[in-house]
Amino acid sequence: MNLKQIGITLVFLDFAALTGYALYQEGLIGIWEMATSSWWATQITFDLCFAAFFGSLWVWRDAKKRGLNPLPYVLAVPFTGSLALLVYAIRRQSAAAPAARRLDAAPA
């Protein structure tokens, strides 16, 4: 595990703990109630949905370039939000970059 993976893993663990605590305190219904409690909350909710959508597009394209299957990560985003994107970021660090794979595969 490299330094980037360790850093992203720490962010993931902290964010997962915060998400779990919020879910424990408010429940799934509480999350929906807060997301629609005011116009600002609704705006922030839509903003996060757009960010998750574009994050999913990035995962899809990047995973395809690296020879990884993007489907599990993209399907998990609606249920876990940023957590799925962070898991992909951790996994991505261990996948060889496309240029590095081509150099390794080149005949000597």
Q: Taking CA 90 as the corner, what is the angle to CA 84 and CA 96, rounded to the nearest 5 degrees?
A: 125
> Whole-model pTM?
0.77
Terminal Cα distance for the chain, rounded: 29
Summary mean pLDDT of the chain = 88
pLDDT digits (tens, 9 = 90+) for 20-57: 999 999 988 888 898 889 999 999 999 999 999 999 99
Q: Is the pLDDT of residue 77 over 80?
A: yes
pLDDT digits (tens, 9 = 90+) for 4-15: 889 999 999 999
Query: Confidence band (pLDDT; 50, 70, 90) for 102?
Result: low
- Residue spans of the domains in the chain: they are 3-100
